[in-house]
């Protein structure tokens, strides 16, 4: 049974383990890249390989040399964290003067929508649009300067953002009413819409200002003379029970249910 | 987007309720990741059952000892395949051995697995079968003789002293093997339990719950295999052994159910912000697989059936049938447990505001057919192992090998 004091079977198994262990060490020596672990849990030589790749991007400092105005405007705007080449593409060749063509000028809506398309997971207050509703026929840069995208003045009308509602209202009986007749809109809403949401009417009495039986159509309702219009009247005590007006009437097109 | 992927995404989106983040519609861990803990659990469970006989001297279980070891070996060979099929690039698996990363629990699996396979299972089986391998070599010819010579590492010493040393070695390895088996499956639970971002998984109880469900699944699998192989070999079932298996299955099930209930009650009492979405998940998407299959059919049903069969004066034939049926239901229940953990844990949004759905494909790398293939593969390996290393007592008592 024994060879010396060690049983045979231990020697046999030990030999196999030794074989496996030794081959593992040899395999490791052969397969592990020499520079592995020098800088971290990766092959340090990979840094050199990556560094040897051809440089594609010039960096905004290179743009600054010729396009000082645009870069300065961008660096003071909400787009300051973006690099010029984020929108204009890699421009190392252009910066070194070797390129035959200028970097592309993105004119479509697609590029802007990469960041500004409405997505529920984007942070509140980040400017986002629903592309079908937000001036669908216009290109972004016709209203917004990409180098300084902050609107210098408020959008001309609510339809700038709420186009679908505006289109419906424009052909409804409520067409003469401005949005502000029913909505109280803080001026900040035009700059930071989601942080300053306009107030909506919340009780039947509000609609009763014009539509309650026995109430004269106001000649000056929040600055609008409504006497020229034929305003339908209902007895609010009996009409609709406890329902709120907008549970049956869509306020932007009130003849529809 | 690839049209097939798009169709898949659209199908999944129709099942979405509430709000989910864009990257949550499609599940990342598929049925193959369900199979991985299921198979690993069977390995650990079968080994722990084997250790009951060796270390804790439960002599009634002796007829299943070697069968349990070979079952564990057949399943451990298949254990990493679902992961490799799921990840793709199986050739890269070798790299985790070359450049081990101790700060990654997932990267450490290779070492846990290698330790368990090489140092515990293979070694224990080698010492356990060594004397028989010497005899089989003497009795066979040609390639088979060469095979037994190779696999016994040229061993010929069958003197009483050498055999006695084998027994001691087996005992020592089994003692080492129990914590190793706990490590193997506890590790799988650890992987899920340490996912901080997922409140369905993140629990310190996870490794323990996994471990006991593994013991339950291992015992029931060996019971099923012992039942079927004995009937196929036209031998008589050892009633004492079956009674002991059923009793251990019964006790393990009680512990498993208690731990799962403890986990459940603890979550309810803690009532963290995720509790509402988890309740919705359990009562909608997981109702059948969790409440009906896992708890009712897979745990309470077998518990009642085992209790009835064990503690009433049922005739032996009926008892055996009841044990067998209970074990089958336990297997279905444990598979469902793995499904509920892996798939269930990905069905709710991290926003806690919506649920998605898992659509199982039929074909493809991560489809149902691959999964079935991987579930059948260990039985094929086991069949080969049983042919090469018959674990039955009658295969050992034919003739004693001659020394030399």
**Helix residue ranges per DSSP H, B298-367:** 301-311, 316-342
Q: What is the pLDDT of residue A195?
A: 76
Report the gap between the CA of A254 and the closest CA in chain B (Å): 30
CB < 8 Å to A16, chain B: 153
Categorise residue A217: left if φ over 0, alpha if ψ from -120 to 50, beta otherwise. beta
Report the gap between the CA of B13 and the closest CA in chain A (Å): 16
Domain end (from A131, A151, A176)? A176
Q: Are residues A232 and A256 in the same domain?
A: yes
Q: Are residues A181 and A253 in the same domain?
A: yes
Whether the pLDDT of residue B62 is over 60: the answer is yes
Q: Say how many Å lie between the first and final Cα of chain A, rounded.
A: 98
Share of chain B above pLDDT 90, in %: 60
* Furthest CA-CA distance within chain A: 119
Chain A positions touching chain B (beta carbons under 8 Å): 1-2, 7-10, 12-13, 15-17, 20, 24, 27-28, 31-32, 36-37, 41, 119-121
Domains identified in chain A, total number: 3
Tens digit of each residue's pLDDT (9 = 90 or more) over A129-150: 888 878 888 888 888 889 988 7
* pLDDT grade for B398, boundaries at 50, 70 and 90: low
| Mean pLDDT, rounded, for B280-292 | 93
Whether the pLDDT of residue B154 is over 90: the answer is no
Q: Domain range holding A169?
A: 110-176
Whether the pLDDT of residue A160 is over 80: the answer is no
A211 falls within a domain: yes
Interface pTM, i.e. ipTM = 0.76
Residue B159 touches partner A, C-beta closer than 8 Å: yes
Task: Using DSSP, state whether B365 is helix, strand or coil.
Answer: coil
* pLDDT grade for B156, boundaries at 50, 70 and 90: confident
CA distances to A14, A100, B23, B25, B352 from B20, in Å: 56, 47, 8, 7, 8
CB < 8 Å to B118, chain A: 17, 20
Asked if A121 lies within 8 A of B123 by C-beta distance, the reply is no
The closest alpha carbon to B356, from B251, B263, B284, belongs to: B284
The closest alpha carbon to A127, from A115, A141, A140, belongs to: A115
Pairwise CA distance, residues B376 & B81, whole Å: 13
Q: Are residues A190 and A231 in the same domain?
A: yes
Query: Which residues, 6 or more positions from A43, have their beta carbon under 8 angstroms from its beta carbon?
Result: A33, A35, A36
Query: Which residues, 6 or more positions from B81, have their beta carbon under 8 angstroms from its beta carbon?
Result: B374, B377
Tens digit of each residue's pLDDT (9 = 90 or more) over B202-238: 999 999 999 999 999 999 999 999 999 999 999 999 9
Report the gap between the CA of A173 and the closest CA in chain B (Å): 36
CA distances to A3, B69, B121, B229 from B127, in Å: 18, 12, 10, 24
Q: Are residues A229 and A209 in the same domain?
A: yes
**Residue pair B385/B74 in contact by the 8 Å Cβ criterion:** yes
Tens digit of each residue's pLDDT (9 = 90 or more) over B296-321: 999 999 999 999 999 988 899 999 99
Report the gap between the CA of B121 and the closest CA in chain A (Å): 13
Which residue of A32, A120, A121 is in closest CB contact with B99? Answer: A32
Residue B22 touches partner A, C-beta closer than 8 Å: yes
A194 falls within a domain: yes
Q: Are residues A154 and A215 in the same domain?
A: no
Q: Are residues A185 and A170 in the same domain?
A: no
A243 falls within a domain: yes
* pLDDT grade for B404, boundaries at 50, 70 and 90: very low
Asked if B169 lies within 8 A of A9 by C-beta distance, the reply is yes
* Closest chain A residue to the Cα of B163, Cα to Cα: A1
Tens digit of each residue's pLDDT (9 = 90 or more) over B329-382: 999 999 999 999 999 999 999 988 889 888 888 888 889 999 999 999 999 999
A168 falls within a domain: yes
CATH code, B17-395: 1.20.1630.10
Q: Are residues A202 and A226 in the same domain?
A: yes
Domain end (from A176, A202, A231)? A176
Domain end (from A128, A151, A176)? A176
Q: What is the pLDDT of residue A138?
A: 85
Q: How many Cβ pairs closer than 8 A exist between chain A and B?
A: 46
A66 falls within a domain: no
Domain boundaries, chain B: 17-395
Q: What is the pLDDT of residue A257?
A: 43
Pairwise CA distance, residues A129 & A134, whole Å: 6
């Amino acid at each position: 049974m024994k060879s010396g004091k060690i049983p045979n079977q231990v020697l046999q198994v030990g030999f196999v383990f030794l074989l496996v262990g030794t081959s593992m060490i040899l395999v490791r020596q052969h397969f592990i890249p020499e520079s592995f672990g020098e800088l971290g849990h990766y092959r340090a030589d990979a840094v050199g390989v990556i560094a040897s790749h051809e440089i594609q991007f010039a960096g905004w400092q290179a743009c600054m040399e010729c396009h000082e105005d645009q870069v300065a405007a961008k660096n003071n705007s909400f787009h300051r964290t973006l690099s010029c080449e984020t929108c204009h593409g890699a421009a190392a060749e252009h910066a070194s003067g070797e390129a035959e063509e200028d970097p592309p000028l993105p004119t479509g809506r697609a590029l802007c929508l990469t960041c500004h398309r409405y997505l529920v997971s984007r942070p509140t207050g980040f400017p986002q649009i629903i592309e079908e509703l937000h001036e669908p026929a216009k290109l972004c840069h016709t209203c917004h300067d990409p180098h300084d995208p902050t609107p210098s003045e408020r959008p001309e009308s609510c339809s700038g953002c709420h186009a679908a509602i505006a289109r419906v209202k424009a052909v409804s009986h409520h067409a003469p009413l401005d949005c502000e007749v029913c909505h109280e809109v803080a001026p900040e809403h035009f700059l930071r819409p989601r942080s300053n949401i306009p107030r909506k009417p919340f009780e039947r009495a509000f609609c009763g200002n014009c539509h309650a039986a026995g109430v004269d159509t106001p000649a000056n309702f929040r600055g609008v003379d409504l006497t020229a219009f034929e305003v339908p009247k209902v007895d609010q005590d009996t009409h609709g029970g406890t329902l709120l007006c907008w549970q049956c009437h869509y306020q932007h097109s009130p003849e529809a249910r | 987007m690839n049209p097939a992927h798009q169709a898949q995404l659209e199908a999944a989106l129709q099942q979405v309720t509430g709000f989910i983040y864009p990257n949550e519609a499609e599940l990342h861990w598929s049925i193959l990741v369900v199979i991985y803990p299921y198979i690993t659990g069977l390995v650990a469970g079968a080994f722990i059952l084997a250790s009951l006989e060796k270390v804790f001297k439960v002599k009634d279980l002796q007829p299943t000892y070697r069968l349990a070891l070979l079952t564990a070996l057949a399943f451990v060979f298949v254990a990493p395949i679902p992961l490799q099929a799921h990840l793709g690039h199986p050739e890269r698996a070798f790299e985790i051995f070359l450049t081990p990363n101790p700060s990654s629990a997932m990267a450490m699996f290779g070492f846990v697995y290698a330790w368990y396979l090489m140092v515990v299972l293979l070694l224990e089986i080698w010492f356990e079968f060594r004397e028989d391998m010497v005899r089989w070599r003497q009795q066979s010819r040609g390639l088979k003789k060469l095979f037994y010579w190779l696999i016994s590492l040229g061993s010929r010493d069958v003197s009483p002293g050498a055999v006695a040393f084998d027994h001691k070695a087996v005992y020592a390895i089994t003692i080492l093997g129990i914590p190793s088996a706990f490590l193997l499956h506890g590790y799988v639970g650890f992987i899920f339990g340490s996912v901080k971002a997922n409140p369905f998984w993140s629990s310190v109880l996870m490794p323990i719950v996994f471990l006991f469900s593994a013991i339950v699944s291992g015992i029931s699998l060996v019971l099923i295999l012992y039942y079927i192989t004995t009937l196929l070999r036209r031998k008589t079932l050892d009633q004492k052994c079956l009674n002991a298996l059923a009793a251990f299955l019964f006790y393990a099930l009680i512990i498993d159910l208690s731990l799962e209930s403890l986990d459940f009650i603890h979550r309810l009492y803690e009532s963290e912000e995720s509790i509402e979405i988890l309740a919705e998940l359990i009562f909608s998407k997981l109702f059948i697989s969790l409440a009906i299959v896992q708890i009712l059919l897979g745990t309470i049903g077998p518990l009642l059936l085992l209790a009835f069969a064990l503690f009433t004066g049922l005739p032996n034939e009926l008892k055996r049938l009841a044990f067998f049926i209970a074990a089958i239901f336990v297997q279905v229940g444990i598979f469902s447990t793995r499904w509920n953990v892996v798939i269930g844990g990905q069905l709710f949004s991290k926003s806690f505001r919506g649920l998605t759905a898992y659509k199982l494909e039929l074909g493809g790398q991560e489809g149902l057919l691959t999964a079935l293939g991987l579930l059948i593969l260990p039985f094929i390996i086991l069949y080969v192992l049983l042919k090469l290393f018959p674990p039955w007592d009658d295969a050992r008592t034919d003739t004693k090998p001659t020394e030399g």
